[in-house]
């Protein structure tokens, strides 16, 4: 993937001038008479990585533009009407009880920015003085714009595995500015998600109260009873896949988790379920039931983040590296987690998702849909600030059709 190594030209110029301080004359004969060789229009990306999760959601029709309002409201049925076996001529008391409630999600605001000096480069209105014309092998302004877009997409991809709730007695970190991701979706208000948090609410609706367990998805532990990571098995994959009420269509694992699963299939000689196919974009994966398991660099993992730039983070400033947590007192046997008080090592994570239940809700306002806002410093002759903004949320209307699992290794 080519494009976008921010600061490339500025970094080169800075090095040059630092070296030039001790030189007199500044240019020796060789540098004064020889042009530099730079590939036209190419900056090699050594920072961002591909984000297939969002491509899969687009393919499954999850894009649902948000046209305005105080909330993104999702009605759901949580119980049925009264009834039962009756006798002929029996008198019954007929009442109407509430069977429908709703979840509500707020649009969340993201922005990326950089400062631009219109003497050095273009700023959206002027073409700049230095990085312009045929001598600008790389359009620095456009490289920054591409980088702003990639940064927003990376924020969304990484935050999709976390949550967007305030800190509480069962939630360690405050992430109210960020999208309502999968760790809060795939939870049941009793068992911890991969980040160690227990989410007693989803979509502002309390779980296990009036709506009972209808908004629940039980996180599954793939490790051992002592809290150490376990070996992934075909049986466990099938159990977690079958846990969803509607059959998942997307499987997501880390890069190293993908190797563990692929190796497990090879050991069991289950080539009948190994049909690798392409899904219309450029992502290949392992066929499993009605889903494709694909690998994503940004999936929470114990190992993958070590291979990425350390400052490749989500909107909350965190990598998606997994760690350890202590099992809370609310844990239930259905999760497979060890008993309360045991410290577990999260290891690798995995996700079964039903794409039809997902909603990616970007605003219909172009100013906040990857829109550019440029502000000038009133007392500066050339410096501007450039913002790219995005208002969006990402959530599912059916937690029970999506499942998370964690705690496995090779």
Tokens found for residue 129 = 């003085």
pLDDT band at 286 (very low <50, low <70, confident <90, very high): confident
Q: H helices of 47-105, where?
A: 52-59
Q: Please provide the average confidence, as pLDDT, over all residues in the chain.
A: 87
Q: H helices of 89-244, where?
A: 140-159, 182-185, 234-243
What is the β-pairing status of strands 403-409 and 220-221?
parallel
pLDDT per position as a tens digit, 145-169: 999 999 999 999 999 999 999 999 9
Phi, psi angles (nearest 5°) of residue 297: -60, -25
pLDDT band at 359 (very low <50, low <70, confident <90, very high): very high
Domain for residue 266, yes or no?
no
Residue 158 has a CB neighbour count (10 Å cut-off) of 25
pLDDT per position as a tens digit, 325-346: 999 999 999 999 999 999 999 9
Domain for residue 37, yes or no?
yes
pLDDT per position as a tens digit, 46-55: 555 666 788 7
CA distance readout (Å), 147 to 6, 109, 238, 390: 7, 18, 40, 14
pLDDT band at 308 (very low <50, low <70, confident <90, very high): very high
The mean pLDDT of 171-182, rounded to a whole number, is: 97
CB 116 within 8 A of CB 380: no
| Predicted local confidence at residue 66, as pLDDT | 94
Domain assignment of residue 40, given as a range: 1-46
Among 124, 211, 120, 195, smallest CA distance to 163 is for: 195
Q: What's the Rg (C-alpha) of the chain?
A: 26
Domain total for the chain?
Answer: 1
Tokens found for residue 44 = 């090699």
Domain for residue 106, yes or no?
no
Which DSSP symbol is given to 53? H
| Predicted local confidence at residue 48, as pLDDT | 58
Domain for residue 22, yes or no?
yes
Domain for residue 31, yes or no?
yes
| Predicted local confidence at residue 49, as pLDDT | 61
pLDDT per position as a tens digit, 72-114: 999 999 999 999 999 999 999 999 999 999 999 999 999 999 9
Q: Is a pLDDT exceeding 70 seen at residue 4?
A: no
Domain for residue 264, yes or no?
no
| pTM across the whole model | 0.87
| Predicted local confidence at residue 36, as pLDDT | 62
Question: Cβ neighbours of residue 98 under 8 Å, at least 6 residues apart?
Answer: none
Query: CA quadruple 180, 186, 191, 194: dihedral positive or negative?
Result: negative
Domain for residue 21, yes or no?
yes
Percent of the chain with pLDDT over 70: 84
The mean pLDDT of 122-142, rounded to a whole number, is: 91
Domain for residue 5, yes or no?
yes
Among 356, 392, 408, smallest CA distance to 223 is for: 408
pLDDT per position as a tens digit, 228-284: 999 999 999 999 999 999 999 999 999 999 999 988 876 655 434 433 444 444 457
Q: How far is residue 198's CA from residue 179's CA, in Å, rounded to a whole number?
A: 17
């Amino acid at each position: 993937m080519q494009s976008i190594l921010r600061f490339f030209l500025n970094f080169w110029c800075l090095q040059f001038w630092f070296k030039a301080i001790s030189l007199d004359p500044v240019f020796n004969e060789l540098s004064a008479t020889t042009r530099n060789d730079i590939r036209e229009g190419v900056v090699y990306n050594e920072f961002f990585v591909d984000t297939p999760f969002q491509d899969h959601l687009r393919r499954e029709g999850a894009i649902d533009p948000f046209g305005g309002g105080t909330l993104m409201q999702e009605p759901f049925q949580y119980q049925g009407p009264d009834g039962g076996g009756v006798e002929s001529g029996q008198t019954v008391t007929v009442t109407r009880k509430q069977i429908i409630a709703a979840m509500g999600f707020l649009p969340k605001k993201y922005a990326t920015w950089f400062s631009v000096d219109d003497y050095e480069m273009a700023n959206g209105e002027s073409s700049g003085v230095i990085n312009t014309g045929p001598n600008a092998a790389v359009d620095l302004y456009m490289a920054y714009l591409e980088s702003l877009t990639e940064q927003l997409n990376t924020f969304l991809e990484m935050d999709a595995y976390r949550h967007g709730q305030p800190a509480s007695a069962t939630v360690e970190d405050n992430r109210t500015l960020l999208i309502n991701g999968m760790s809060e979706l795939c939870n049941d208000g009793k068992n911890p998600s991969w980040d160690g948090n227990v989410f007693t609410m989803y979509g502002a609706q309390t779980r296990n109260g009036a709506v009972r367990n209808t908004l629940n998805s039980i996180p599954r532990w793939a490790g051992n009873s002592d809290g150490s990571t376990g070996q992934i098995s075909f049986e466990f994959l099938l159990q977690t896949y079958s846990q969803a009420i509607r059959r998942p269509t997307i499987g997501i694992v880390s890069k190293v988790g993908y190797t563990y699963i692929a190796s497990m299939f090879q050991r069991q000689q289950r080539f009948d379920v190994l049909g690798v196919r392409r899904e219309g974009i450029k992502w290949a994966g392992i066929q499993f039931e009605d889903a494709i398991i694909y690998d994503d660099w940004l999936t929470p993992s114990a190992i993958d983040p070590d291979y990425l730039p350390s400052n490749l983070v989500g909107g909350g400033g965190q990598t998606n590296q997994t760690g350890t947590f202590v099992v809370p007192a609310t844990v239930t046997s259905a999760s497979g987690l060890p008993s309360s008080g045991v410290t577990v090592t999260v290891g690798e994570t995995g996700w079964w998702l039903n794409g039809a239940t997902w909603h990616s809700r970007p605003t219909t306002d172009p100013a906040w849909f990857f829109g550019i806002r440029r502000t000038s410093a009133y007392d500066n002759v050339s410096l501007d600030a450039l913002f790219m903004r995005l208002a969006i949320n990402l959530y599912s209307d059916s937690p029970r059709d999506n499942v998370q699992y964690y705690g496995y290794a090779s």
